[in-house]
Structure 1
Amino acid sequence: MTENVETLLRYQKKWAEDKSEVAIIEKSRRTGVSWSEAGISTLEASSKSGMNAWYIGYNKDMAYEFILYCAWWAKLYNLAAGEIEETEEVFKDGDESKSILSFVIRFDSGWRITALSSRPANLRGKQGRVIIDEAAFHDQLGELLKAAMALLMWGGKVRIISTHNGVDNEFNELIKEVREGKKPYSLHRVTLDDALEEGLYQRICLKLGKEWTPEAEALWRQNLIDSYGEAAEEELFCVPSRSGGTYLPIGLIEARVNASTPVIRISRDEEFGRLPDEARAFDIRSWCEEELQHHVRAISDHPQVFFGADFARSSDLTVIWPLIKMQDFRLKTPFVLEIRNMPFRQQEQILFYFLDKLKGFAGGAMDARGNGQYLAEVAAQRYGFSRVIQTMLSEKWYLENMPPLKAALEDGTIYDMPADRDIQSDLRAFKVVRGVARIPDQRTSDKDGKKRHGDAGIALVMANHAARICSGFDDNIISGMKRETSRYLDRM
């Protein structure tokens, strides 16, 4: 099937090539997802080894438009198909049977595509591919999905396509569950800017016979945004309406704290950075042995310890957040380490002191933006590039990693966080910006009036990311990495 998708844009190809039983896409309007889905359904229904397709829109116009798309694809690929039939399908609704207007194309393969003009109450007894279009606008989406999932038992597939229709909508709740790892479904996301980057407006110009220029595309984009007005964020950029505010509620944070979990803080003044290397190294080694050593010793024998680190040199904080994987697979915070105004070499010294003493160091994720790239790189060189994830924070990274963090806090997987006002402030700093939970540009101040920028929050989400990614490490893998390193050094 996928050999015939050369007319599709990249995001449409990714959708076409998705083999998952259940796939969901949150999208901007008019990005051609329903059109490309019609092509997939047409190719599948025309194959002897294919299946029926059941398209479910929420009105007659949607159903007819989809079936016209299918007819266009059938003509493009010269597939043997009959004329469009307007007919009625009888579905059982509770104790009653109801007739639903539908449009059908039949193929010589024996399969057909049926586009329904409204949502049937029950799809049980049917087989094939179910396409639920503009799912956020269907009444009782949950009941419809329950019926659709029954088709999976016989090798069917479910495809859920929609723009957003409010933050409290069942479609948005479904997407949140997928991102939090509660539903094992495939998830795609296409905003207007994603589609433009991959050639949407160039394809529009080609179809209309217009000349494409960057200036024309920018003007077209702005006119489209202006036409949607206040609804543009939801309609074009996958941001459910009313989706602002703090991402982690204070009640959720307080439910996972422990007053006995310490926050270890160290800072130095500007003069410290001007001292000779030996003096700085001696000072920090002494501090580590006096203030850090007993905390590290308490966790050094645990079989799996992870960490996340957010880096800063002067204006903000470097925060190192360890997580211990316990016997019940939950993640316990033993302490949080905050470092302020510390030279690069001494930050490296503190990090290495901590990690060198962990017999069960399983993996970490480190902020590798800007100056943080140095510390992340030397840590990866020392402990293995597979064990230390050098992370470039981006909107996509937040989108993929914030929902699992929230889910871990909600179900108690992460616990014993410090009961500390500044730590709490950092966790509360995550805001929903254009539909994605992240740290905004504004800084906050700690109890001493010094700047913070959600540093502990970023360290925690990185630690959880490392625990999810690096849990497969064992002594054999680590020994193998050490052997490869030795071989490389022998060749030099």
Structure 2
Amino acid sequence: MKHQAEWLADTSDLKLAEKGRRTGITYAEALDSAMTAAAARSAGGQNVFYIGDTRDKGREYIGYVAHFARVVAAELAQVEEFLFDDLKEDGSTKQIAAFRIRFASGFRVEALSSRPENIRGLQGTVVIDEAAFHRDVREVLDAVNALLIWGGRIRVISSHNGVLNPFNELIREAQAGKVPFSVHHIPFGEAVRNGLYRRVCLMTGKTWSPAAEAEWEAMIRGAYGARQAAMRQELDAIPADAEGAALTRVQIEAAAVPDIPIVRIRFDDDFKGLSPELRKTRALALCLTRIKPVLDRLNPTSRHVFGEDFARTGDVTAIWVWEIDGRLRRVCRLIVEIRNGPFDQQREILFYVGDGLPRFAGGKLDATGNGAYLAEVAAQKWGASRIEEVKLSVEWYATHMPPYIDAIADRTAVLPMDEDVIADHQALQFCGRV
């Protein structure tokens, strides 16, 4: 394909590819590795070292090289698995699994299953694949720079892993002329235009047509659902706003509207020294003056629900009131934030909010740690059929956050246009690759 041919035609000593996934650049580089190792020294032949982010990628790459050795160099290549002696800076040695193909030229291609600390001792062409997912790509690059002195070459290939990743920083520096890398930008869409789906049809026995190609690309993109930031990063080689960010600021702001009230209540340290009766009276006064006017404006025909996250010191207790409107959207109608609130006053404010909701359908409350008390008394007041006491955990987030993220991305959840709310949602991240 055109982008593969352009990558191979670039003979720069330093070159890097920011690419969409499965666009064929690693495959093309395996062809170059086979030709480089099969050539005589007088024709530019040298050793090639492939450093992937996983052992499986190393084995796959060496398989590609073996294929090209037979097809292009007419050599019957034998894949060897061996232990690479990795000399650490402190003088100790460890052995790491590696794969190797030897050529009649005397050169070899080695795929190392993990980043060796002794990479400084290698000489030849070094291919760093999925660089954005290495533990420290900067350290790897610093280690291999010395091989340029004796005619070595460096190839850096990767999809993106966040705008703050060192791989993206390297690209920006190269584009600014601060480092002498040539840069190839290879998004998925360009690979499709260059014939990627035609290759898929060739391998799978399908019949190519423009309509089938458009449907196939739409299917691939649609598989990401509302995770548009992930799709753009994985396919279009556009780094996400933050590493693993679940939502972009643009998506969050598109789901936000102005004039949704946020009632922020802060109790001073002297408040807890007041008598219980006075604390209760003042809390009720706050509810009457600041919360009741909002509750009175709620649509009496819509169902309403709330979610609550508990905090006692250092953070805020947040109560989010949602209306389920006639189009089944979840529209935030009120947020109550309580800072430094005694347990009793948090309970009183929560009960006031819940009792004031038209067609109150249910609530979920943080029941971890000290929040268990408030969740328990809420379940006692409104019944376990309407109140869920949530034990927050990684598993809970894994189950419930994807639908919430999708709802924001497709605007079936409506948020307040508030800087704190937007910043909190920008902090949502996917764990690991998506």
Separation in 2 of the partners of 1:70 and 1:186?
A: 24
Task: Map 1:268-283 to 2 at 5 A.
Answer: none
Structure 2 segments unaligned to the other structure (5+ residues): 243-247, 251-434
Give, in angstroms, the shift of residue 204 of structure 1: 1.5
2:202 counterpart (188, 203, 206)? 206
Task: Map 1:34-183 to 2 at 5 A.
Answer: 34-49=26-41, 50-95=45-90, 96-183=92-179
The residue number in structure 2 matching 1:242 is 241
1:234 maps to a residue whose letter is Q
CA displacement, residues 263-289 of structure 1 (integer Å, 9 cap, x when unaligned): xxxxxxxxxxxxxxxxxxxxxxxxxxx
Separation in 2 of the partners of 1:222 and 1:69?
A: 29
Separation in 1 of the partners of 2:37 and 2:76?
A: 10
Separation in 2 of the partners of 1:223 and 1:55?
A: 33
- How many pairs align? 238
The residue number in structure 2 matching 1:19 is 11
C-alpha contact 2:130 2:157 (8 A) present in aligned 1: yes
Separation in 1 of the partners of 2:65 and 2:73?
A: 12
CA displacement, residues 389-418 of structure 1 (integer Å, 9 cap, x when unaligned): xxxxxxxxxxxxxxxxxxxxxxxxxxxxxx
* TM-score, length-scaled by structure 1: 0.47
Structure 1 residues 150 and 81: CA distance shift in structure 2, 3 A: farther
Structure 1 segments unaligned to the other structure (5+ residues): 1-8, 247-492
C-alpha contact 1:81 1:105 (8 A) present in aligned 2: no
Give, in angstroms, the shift of residue 207 of structure 1: 2.0
1:127 maps to a residue whose letter is Q
Separation in 2 of the partners of 1:129 and 1:81?
A: 22
Give, in angstroms, the shift of residue 184 of structure 1: 1.4
The residue number in structure 1 matching 2:182 is 186
Question: Identity over aligned residues, as a percent?
Answer: 44
Structure with max Cα Rg: 2
* TM-score, length-scaled by structure 2: 0.53
C-alpha contact 2:15 2:182 (8 A) present in aligned 1: yes
C-alpha contact 1:205 1:211 (8 A) present in aligned 2: yes
Superposition RMSD on alpha carbons, in Å?
1.5
1:239 maps to a residue whose letter is I
Q: Give the secondary structure class of the aligned counterpart of 1:20.
A: coil
Separation in 1 of the partners of 2:180 and 2:191?
A: 26
Give, in angstroms, the shift of residue 120 of structure 1: 0.8
Q: Give the secondary structure class of the aligned counterpart of 1:124.
A: helix
Q: Give the secondary structure class of the aligned counterpart of 1:51.
A: coil
The residue number in structure 2 matching 1:421 is none
Give, in angstroms, the shift of residue 245 of structure 1: 7.1
1:17 maps to a residue whose letter is A
Task: Map 1:45-444 to 2 at 5 A.
Answer: 45-49=37-41, 50-95=45-90, 96-229=92-225, 230=227, 231-242=230-241
1:32 maps to a residue whose letter is G
1:154 maps to a residue whose letter is W
CA displacement, residues 149-188 of structure 1 (integer Å, 9 cap, x when unaligned): 1111110000000000011000000001111111111000
1:107 maps to a residue whose letter is F
Separation in 1 of the partners of 2:74 and 2:164?
A: 42
